[in-house]
Structure 1
Amino acid sequence: MSAKKNRFALPCLCPGKKTGSMLLLCLLTQGQALAGGGEESIFLDDMPVILSASRLSQPINEAPVAVTIIDRQMIKDSGAWDLSEVFRLVPGMYVAYHADPYFSADSTVAYHGMVTTTTSDRMQVLIDGRSVYSSLFGGVNWSDLPIVLEDIERIEVIRGPDSASYGANSYSGVINIITRHPVETQGQMLSLTAGTGRKEAIFRYGGKNGDLSYRITGSLRDDIGEDSRIKNATSQFTFWNLNKYDNKTIQNLNLRADYQLTAADALEFQFGYNGGPREVGEYGNVSAISRRAENHFEMLHWRRALEAGGELSVQLFHTVERVYAKLKDSDGVSDGDAILRRYDIEVQHTFTPFKNARLVWGGSVRYDQTYAPYYLGVGNNQYLYGDFPYHLRRFFGNLEWRARPDLIFNVGGMIENNTYTGTDTTPRVAVNWHVLPGHTLRFSHSRATRSPSVYEKVYDTYWRSAGFYPGLPEMQTERVKSSDIGYMGKYAGLDIDFRLFYDDYSQLIDVRNKRSAASGNLNAGTAIMRGYELQLKTQLGDKTKLIYGLSGGGVKSDNANGVIYSDSLPKYSQSLMLSHRFNEQWNGSLVMYQVARTKFNATDYNPNENRGYYVDANRRLDGKLSYQFKVGGKQAECSLIAQNLADARYFEYRHDNELPGRRVRLNFRLDM
């Protein structure tokens, strides 16, 4: 979706050398000339429209935050196997393959290294606006999501705090995964994949009956995970030679139905199921003798179109994450069952309060129940076998005001009350100035919070008051003050998105370090992060496209209680995707990822066993080649995908988390 074509051209007529002062004069004089009037589309030529940044549909250069769009073609060209891998294309995003060895053996996806944990608990993740942020440890279990890559229309990644729109836990960023409308997936589709340790079958059927359109997708995936032994071990001790138990079988079933009730009213229903046996654990520690995931959700979303582009909507959803597990640890065999339930209702209203302005406002109520005796066991406490409840109430709003054709203000915020930490307010103010057609500056400042997970709150409430560390202050929310300056520009076929950011973190929570508990302050962590991000997109001729991302910066911290935040933002990370259409049948792509050396809390520094302070820099190259043809008049495609082409063996996140070697797979797809 894009705006009208630009009908005006305003070249710079300033004579003389292109010095910095002359360029600034050109920008100012032309900006003032444009401020007097002209059509709005003069500033919005070919700009994609996003839906997630402020809960208003906006051209990307008028959003109050930086946003990366990963569209369906990018997902396809990337050759990604897991959903988590797609986010390697986002500037500033850190992704580690299957980094969690304890609860889910799942990947880490975290925006900026300083706040990286195996559970990625400082970033909100939504699917069609439905939060999939897990209550037990926070973050997302990516393999347990009832979704397949084939059903994703696009992903909007908000690069920076956005608690003003989505509340606590939108602390470092937000990912909103938007699925395809059933109207776009009519007919049948079969996809079969086989390769090195990986197999998958997907079948999708889309139909339509009058004003009702629907889609059903089922899939079965087998993944043997990491290599059983670490090739470049840092120590000869057995623990550091063996990789994690992470084989998995994933069964997915997803239904989406959209019914146009009237010309103004639409009703959407979604159901999803994800299940199957999973391995989890590491040598010498907790491992699952048997573990099975059983997750499902139901969502109902009603929308009514109002005058002047307004809308009223009500969304309800219910989610259950269930784990059946027998765990083997130092105490023998334990019951590792866990059940996480969520009930949520949200109302949202968009309208025009006055000329040149739009307002979205609304509220939501959520109730979570968490049952996980093994992970939350508190001795003889009465809560040992009970559900841990969590209540959340929110009120939000965002006003967009076009003061002039070239000047847009966004002012908004969230008031939130929860069971654990009480009431918080997270405001945001941003201004976007279209200096010239195709060139926009953004200035923004916001506040954001992260509420404790159930695990953190139980540790604080019960373990610290049970005789170990009595009489200590209660845990508070994590806080961040974030400021950024952004620039978006179009130069012929080149799109540029550049951002400078400054984040001031305080009250950072750590419950895993004994020194944090003994100090009496689990919110002792503070850090200052400064950095930059760059996105480039360009067409190199009619058949070749290049997408490049670069980010870097640094962190300053007093590293309270020995929790290391310094050096935990890579000095640089970059990705490059080059895709080329050779002819009507053949397509190819190459993707490169590179990350500088980085320090994480889990790095496990030990000079005597060759485990350094840093996880070393790494580089990876993936490739894909596709051939399109007809089978019985139906469209078909065969693709050869190779990940880690150079068979690089390096560590991500920890020195016992070695990336798998070269993985090659063949995919056949038929649209029937």
Structure 2
Amino acid sequence: MQGSNGNISSNHRERAFRKLRSSHLVSLRSPSSLTWGLLLCTLPFIHTAHAEANNDESIFLDDVPVVLSASRLVQPVNEAPVAVTVLDRETIRDSGAWDLSEVFRLVPGMFVAYHADPNFYSADSTVAYHGMVTSTTSDRMQVLIDGRSVYSGLFGGVNWSDLPIVMDDIERIEVVRGPDSASYGANSFLAVINIITRHPAETQGASASLSYGTNRMEGVFRYGGKSGNLTYQITASERKDNGESDRIHNPTSQILFWTLNKYDNKNIQIFNFRGAYQINASDTLEFQFGYNGGPRLAGEYDNFISIDRTSSNHFEMINWRRALEGNGELTVKAYHTEERINGRLMDSDGISNGNASFKRDELDVQHTFSPTAATRIVWGATVRQDVTYAPYYLGVEDNQYLFGNFYYRLGSIFSNLEWHIRPDLLLNTGAMVENNSYTGTEFTPRLALNWHVTPDHTIRLGHSRATRAPSVYEKVYETYWRAPGEYPNLPKIEPEKAKATDLGYIGRIGKIDLDFRLFYDDYTNLIDVKNHKSPKSGNLNAGNALMRGYELQFKAPLSDKTHVVYSLSGGGVKSDNVNGVIYTDSLPAYNHNLTITHQFNEQWRGSLIAYQISRTKFNDTDFNLGEGRGYFIEGNKRFDAKLSRRFLLCGRPTEVAVIVQNIANAHYFELRHDNEVPGRLARLNVKTEF
């Protein structure tokens, strides 16, 4: 991190913005409207006395990574109002991850469990920030792909295997570590993941890859081309995954149910198209289409078996961007998403209709501009409608009053102001006003101050408010509990709420890059509709939790060819644990990982990753000590490795890689006592360009 003679609020940011815009990476979920109400809340902070200031804002961190997702402004990571982890293409490749969800094990504070969903809707991974998992669906984190929300409306959370995306098409992933409702609204409750795909201009030509290994196989073909001002990319892939072993190697009970793993085989076909048309020097039109489909299994022994079940998901998105003077930008984005599950569910009572569908339509507008030399503002609005149909999963097959489509409507306005008070002091302030058809209107503000103590050391202090709106599942069950024959006087369900305060440090000591964070989060109105005790207590917003902890990540070169990255997180939770909903032990005492990469020469590269996590709370109140299942899932550790060689094959760039996951062949449980991960998994990957 060397000083420069540039101006960070102009020269450095202008270079960064031009670079990212030329790569078409500035494609965040971009609400807007002609409503100036919220914008006016931030305008008083703009001090005209600073309009000509900051001409000597030199020195600050020319080589600091630039992020897009924290406030919807392009910012060096040390000027963002929240902590952000960036997973670039090289990091993703070095991880050797098979599923996209596995990549997030590298993020400080992130908890990932393999195929942890037994609710028969899907067999998928759980990805959760700071634990707080009371069901196998992690529903308190927003996930975006190129600014398009893939947060599921039915149960909340994300169905990772159903996303229409191939890992090799990802340019980078930005993880906002902390609430960000000020920028992305409800459901950005604990964190935000923004997955940014590669622009077609960066993927010209053709490539093909084949992976084959233990119970797994995948083929991917990609072609990028250009015609006049149009650049485009097409990706097609097919993946077969036999999932977990059929039997649990170390069952906690000899009862047959606890000795068998879940049905989780998958056959996934993906097709993607992305195009960009340069209309003129200022205007660009981008459009995307994606599809994910194929047969899936989900269910458990002696309970439900899914038969004739297929998944079919697709989206269409169009984004118009206009570059304005002074590095401003106006974007208008619209997209349609549709997810379908077709299947029959069979149990001892017969066959039930397992069909489900979810549709989302959204329109966003966003405007970025600089009213003074010391300030930048982004503001905008969004409107959205979700339609969900799932009679079996919502328990309404026999209830004509509830049967049919369930609608969820949302509208929001937001604004964020970045103000360089002086060269070493930066203020970010913003908020969102959001109204939804389930819980009404909420206001979620944020305030953060970044102080560049020296060019190599920055301290951040921030406070924000966040909410999580009920899922369709939770809203329907509120209607059930408030029926005349149940608890008609039950208070209406309210959104979950969070007050989050964090103190962060970003800097460089010698050659070591450091990112350290202390957090203090207060959660209230936590929703519980599954526990029968909730209505009797008079409230579906079942509990509160106070979470305190730390996160650390450092990156350092051991030599010119060897680099190490280490991440550590931990903390504790205090909760009233009302109605049997237990949050107290939901945050692991520690969770850390170590990555070592080595570039042997121009052809050979290797990586070794070690993961370890302390014991975690068993995700159920139905544990039974008499059958050998305790309150906790014991801690675990595993080791992954990758070795690759690049060379020319018949004049074509080619890479061959060997990946081994869980080298020690450890059979441990994640999240539940009936969820044992596979043992050692090895595969060979061959990729060539032509």
Residue of structure 2 in register with 1:296 after alignment:
314
Higher mean Cα deviation, 371-380 or 92-101? 371-380
8 Å CA contact retained: 1:603, 1:614: no
**Partner in structure 1 of residue 403 of structure 2:** 385
Q: Distance in 2 between matches of 1:470 and 1:329?
A: 32
- Match in the other structure for 1:360: 378
Q: Which runs of 4+ in 1 moved over 2 A?
A: 3-8, 36-41, 114-117, 377-385, 600-605
CA distance in 2, matches of 1:260, 1:457: 44
Q: CA–CA distance in 2 between the matches of 1:312 and 1:635?
A: 39
Deviation at 1:576, TM superposition (A): 1.0
Work out whether 1:249 is the aligned partner of 2:267. Answer: yes
Deviation at 1:464, TM superposition (A): 3.2
Partner of residue 325, structure 1: 343
Residue 27 of structure 1 aligns with which residue?
none
**Cα separation, 2, equivalents of 1:558 and 1:362:** 39
Deviations 1:282-335 (A, max 9, x none): 112222022100000000000000011100000000000000011012321101
Say if 2:82 is the partner of 1:65: yes
- Percent identity over the alignment? 65
Q: Which amino acid aligns with 2:184?
A: Y
Out of 192, 214, 225, the position equivalent to 1:196 is 214
Match of 1:18 in 2: none
Q: Given residue 403 of structure 1, which amino acid in structure 2 is its aligned partner?
A: I
Deviation string 1:446-495 (CA, Å, 9 cap, x unpaired) is 00000000000000013431512222111000000000000001122210
Indicate conservation of the 8 Å contact 1:604/1:654, yes or no.
no
Distance 1:656 1:282, change over 3 A: same
Deviation at 1:599, TM superposition (A): 1.0
2:94 to 58, 63, 77: 77
Alignment-derived partner of residue 602 in structure 1? 620
Match of 1:45 among 62, 78, 96: 62
**Which residue of structure 1 lines up, in the alignment, with residue 489 of structure 2?**
471
1:545 Cα offset (Å): 1.3
Structure 2 Cα separation of the partners of residues 525 and 248 of structure 1 = 37
Map 1:488-507; keep pairs closer than 5 Å.
488-507=506-525
| 1:460 correspondence with 2:478 | yes
- Structure 1 residues 225, 349: closer, same or farther in 2, change over 3 A? same
TM-superposition CA deviations, 1:486-538 (whole Å, max 9, x none): 00011222100000000000000011111123222110210100000001111
User: How far apart are the structure 1 equivalents of 2:94 and 2:144?
Assistant: 23
1:667 pairs with 2:685: yes
Point out the more displaced range, 510-519 or 68-77.
510-519
Alpha-carbon distance in 2 for matches of 1:385, 1:606: 37
CA distance in 2, matches of 1:537, 1:327: 49
Alignment of 1:153-168 (within 5 A): 153-168=171-186
Structure 2: gaps of 5 or more residues: 7-52
1:107 aligns with 2:125: yes
Other structure's SS at 2:104 match: helix
Does the aligned pair in 2 maintain the 1:113–1:600 contact within 8 Å? no
Q: Aligned to 1:374, what secondary structure does the other structure show?
A: coil
Q: CA–CA distance in 2 between the matches of 1:544 and 1:466? A: 67
Inter-partner Cα distance in structure 2 for 1:482 and 1:147 = 32
**Alpha-carbon offset, residue 99 of structure 1:** 0.1
Q: Distance in 2 between matches of 1:192 and 1:448?
A: 43
- The yes-or-no answer on 1:218 pairing with 2:236 is yes
Distance 2:334 2:56 in 1: 39
Does 2:504 match 1:486?
A: yes
Structure 2 counterparts to residues 237-316 of structure 1, below 5 A: 237-316=255-334
Letter in 2 for 1:354: T
* Number of the residue aligned with 2:158: 140
Q: Distance in 2 between matches of 1:600 and 1:408?
A: 43
What letter corresponds to residue 319 of structure 2 in structure 1? H
Matched, 1:543 2:561: yes
Give the secondary structure class of the aligned counterpart of 1:462.
helix
How far apart, in 2, do the equivalents of 1:6 and 1:231 lie?
59
| Distance in 1 of aligned mates of 2:116 and 2:58 | 46
> What is aligned with 1:91?
108
Q: Is the 8 A contact 2:3 2:455 kept in 1?
A: no
Give, in angstroms, the shift of residue 602 of structure 1.
2.4
Deviation at 1:585, TM superposition (A): 1.1
What is the distance in 2 between the residues matched to 1:598 and 1:377? 31
Secondary structure of 2:300's counterpart equals: coil
The residue number in structure 1 matching 2:26 is none
How far has the Cα of 1:634 moved from its partner?
1.0
1:305–1:617 CA distance, 2 compared to 1 (3 A)? same
1:26 matched residue in structure 2: none
Matching residue's letter, 1:494: I
Could you tell me the TM-score, scaled by structure 2's length?
0.92
Q: In structure 2, what is the Cα distance between the partners aligned to 1:115 and 1:226?
A: 21
The answer on whether the counterparts of 2:430 and 2:447 sit within 8 Å (CA) in structure 1 is: yes
1:552 and 2:570 correspond: yes
Relative to structure 1, the CA distance from residue 603 to residue 468 in structure 2 (aligned partners, 3 Å threshold; closer, same or farther) is closer
Match of 1:406 in 2: 424
Aligned residue for 1:324, secondary structure, equals strand
How much has 1:151 moved relative to structure 2? 0.1
Asked whether the equivalents of residues 155 and 177 of structure 1 are also in contact (C-alpha less than 8 Å), the reply is yes
The number of residues matched between the two structures is: 643
Instruction: Name the structure 1 match of 2:35.
Output: none
The CA distance in 2 between the partners of 1:37 and 1:311, in whole Å, is 22
Instruction: Give, in whole Å, the separation in 1 of the partners of 2:492 and 2:619.
Output: 23
In the alignment, what sits opposite 1:19?
none
- Segments of 5+ residues of structure 1 without an aligned counterpart are 9-35
Which letter does structure 2 place at the counterpart of 1:73? E
Match of 1:561 among 579, 595, 606: 579
Q: Secondary structure at the match of 1:169?
A: coil
Alpha-carbon contact 1:565-1:600 (below 8 Å) kept: no
When the two chains are superposed, the root-mean-square deviation of aligned CA atoms in Å is: 1.4
TM-score computed with the length of structure 1 as normaliser? 0.94
Report the Cα offset of residue 344 of structure 1: 0.1
Deviation of 1:604 after TM superposition, in Å, equals 4.3
CA contact (8 A) 1:4 1:41 kept: no
Which residue number corresponds to residue 432 of structure 1? Answer: 450
Report the alpha carbon displacement of residue 355 of structure 1 after superposing the two structures with TM. 2.9
Contact kept? 2:640, 2:663, Cα under 8 Å = yes
* Superposition deviation, residue 386 in structure 1: 1.2
* Distance (whole Å) between structure 1 residues aligned to residue 564 and residue 427 of structure 2: 32
| Contact map agreement 1:100 1:106 (CA 8 A) in 2 | yes
Amino acid corresponding to residue 82 of structure 1 in structure 2:
D
Question: CA shift at 1:115, angstroms?
Answer: 4.0
Give how far 1:600 is off. Answer: 4.1
In structure 2, the residue corresponding to 1:138 is in which secondary structure? coil
